[in-house]
Amino acid sequence: MRLLKLVIVDDEPILLEGLIKTYDWKGMGFEVVGSARNGEQAIEIIKEKRPHVVLTDIRMKQISGLMVMEEIEKENINCLFIVLSAYRDFEYAQQACDLGAFAYLLKPVNDEKLKETMRQAWKTCTEQIKNEEKYSSWQNLMIKDSYSFLQVIVQKYVQGNISEEKTEEVFRILGSDLEEGDRFITVCTDLDLTYKITHSLDYEAARFALIQLLEEKIREQFYYWKFENDEGNFAFIIKTGENSSVKDLKQILEFIKNKEKQPVLASISKPYKGIHGIKRSYTEARKLFELASMSGASAFTLPEETDDKADKALVENAELSILNAVRRNDDEGLKAAFVQFIYGLPKGEEVQCGYIHRVMVRAEFAVEDSYGMTEELKKQFQNYYRNMQNLTAAKAVDVCYKILCRAIRQRKEQIEKNEMTYFKDYMSEAVAYIEEHLNDEGLSIASVAEQVYLNPVYFGRVFKNTFHMTFKKYLMKKRMEKARELLERADISIGDICERVGIGNPSYFSHLFKEYTGKLPSEYKKESEL
């Protein structure tokens, strides 16, 4: 097994030492090349050692784990971050994810969870190293045929096999640095598959003629790269300096459709700037091509087709609110965003449907990127796309809203389920601690939460979800049950019982016991002695 470099960061010396010495890092494919007790040390060690993976505490004095991630990102050091926290803090988790964290783990670390995470990190890093090694072997090809080489690089980049940094490096080496006004548009195209069924003998010939003619027309106006993508359709990534090129490309496709008399499917992305824009345009065109495929023969999909600028701005803000609500699992926010969205839609049934379909595509991306998709939810999205041409704008909005509400509800249920499973051991530990310390008058939700390394507020919520009662009510129940058990023994006085259940004031104890059982302690004791 190839050993990768690992740096471990934690501001608690005991925990840091435990992390380093407790685990069989070499067995997981890693060599610990450095450690740090604060954020400042971590930054220096990461710069020096250039590790493949950094395991870091997220909460540290002065320079936090998040700040370390931000600094390393600025330095363009390519490594995976696995962050640790003693708090179930989703805001921190979100920030870590935004900064590109590979994983987020809670303290105390579950051994099996850590091992599985490290295995996945090793696999991810190893695949990236292999791709980069392949890239290095392409130097000769770069010299011989720069255009072909760049086309290979662009294809690998948009398919996620080469990093953006490596792609930028290739552009610089080849002297193909982008100009300020350079934009990229992706066109995905193919024949409708139904044509293959009805014209199986000449399908491939017709498909070849389509791509050849399209390439000829694009070559007359644009610089481009062409390849067949993973789905089997053709992608043209086009470099242009004009936003109006989208309309020019649509005219080319219309010309070819009319000339060839065949069911042409196509999608055209928006123009996007920079190296990142290449990938963004490709991803958008691929998704739009799915819509074209579901719409039937001779379908073209574009990101937008409206000149109503005022309405456009309003709708786009509403779209963003919808996507944010989906990411946050905010059903109330989703409802409000849809109301805003409906009021902002421009006139015209076709234009309205176009906006709604676009929201659905982007929302699907948001669900997939944030939480992943269940098979049931995938089917619902697919059914929507399959039937969208038969939906009115009003019906499309209704269906879209219901699907996204269902996505949020499913995610909330899954979160609660995961929490209950994950925190089963925490709650068992908490209950054991309560049983052992019932005699402690100072026993509180804060003291118990501290024992299981959880934030008191969050601990209280998880506790209530687990036992279907508040911590306070649960503690009182346990104390009264213990008191009742002790009252049944003749050798223990009521005063001693008060001390053993952590209620020092006998009068207050009597009041609570009667409230719980309906009887005073003295009455209960007499009855038990009969």
Mean pLDDT value of segment 280-297: 74
d(CA 462, CA 423): 8
The mean-pLDDT minimum among 143-157, 382-396, 455-469, 500-514 falls in 143-157
Residue 309's pLDDT is 43
Q: 138 and 152 in contact (C-beta within 8 Å)?
A: yes
* Residues 216-268 pLDDT 10s: 999 998 989 998 887 788 999 999 887 778 888 888 888 887 776 777 888 88
Q: 69 and 81 in contact (C-beta within 8 Å)?
A: yes
**Comparison of pLDDT for 313 and 393, the residue scoring more:** 393
CA 509 to each of CA 296, 480, 489: distance values in angstroms, whole numbers, following the listed order? 76, 9, 18
323: nearest Cα among 383, 387, 408: 408
Please give the distance of CA 176 from its chain centroid, rounded to a whole number: 34
119: nearest Cα among 55, 29, 32, 31: 29
Please give the distance of CA 236 from its chain centroid, rounded to a whole number: 29
- Which tokens go with 185? 């548009």
pLDDT band of residue 107 (cuts 50, 70, 90) is confident
Pick from 9-18, 260-269, 389-398 the range whose average pLDDT is largest: 9-18
Beta-ladder partners of 113: none
The mean-pLDDT minimum among 196-205, 208-217, 498-507 falls in 196-205
**Average pLDDT of the chain?**
82
Reduced to 3 states, what is the DSSP secondary structure of residue 347?
coil
423: nearest Cα among 381, 458, 371: 458
Mean pLDDT value of segment 196-217: 79
Residue type, 294: M
Share of the chain above pLDDT 70, in %: 85
Element (H, E) at 31: strand 30-36
Terminal Cα distance for the chain, rounded: 74
DSSP one-letter string for 220-238: HH-EEEEEE-TTSSEEEEE
Element (H, E) at 522: helix 521-529
CATH entry 1.20.1260.10 includes domain 4-128: no
Residue 417's pLDDT is 64
Best CATH choice for the domain 178-301 from the list 3.40.50.10480, 2.140.10.10, 3.30.70.270, 3.40.50.720: 3.30.70.270
Q: 42 and 9 in contact (C-beta within 8 Å)?
A: yes
SS (H, E, C) 441-485: CCCCHHHHHHHCCCCHHHHHHHHHHHHCCCHHHHHHHHHHHHHHH
Q: What number of other Cβ atoms are within 10 A of residue 6's Cβ?
A: 27
Whole-model pTM: value is 0.37
Element (H, E) at 369: helix 349-370
Helix axis angle, 90-98 to 65-74, nearest 10°: 10
- CATH T-level assignment (fold) for domain 424-529: Arc Repressor Mutant, subunit A (1.10.10)
Residue 196's pLDDT is 63
Assess whether pLDDT exceeds 70 at residue 377. yes
- Which tokens go with 212? 């050849």
Q: DSSP character for 62?
A: S
Residue type, 167: T
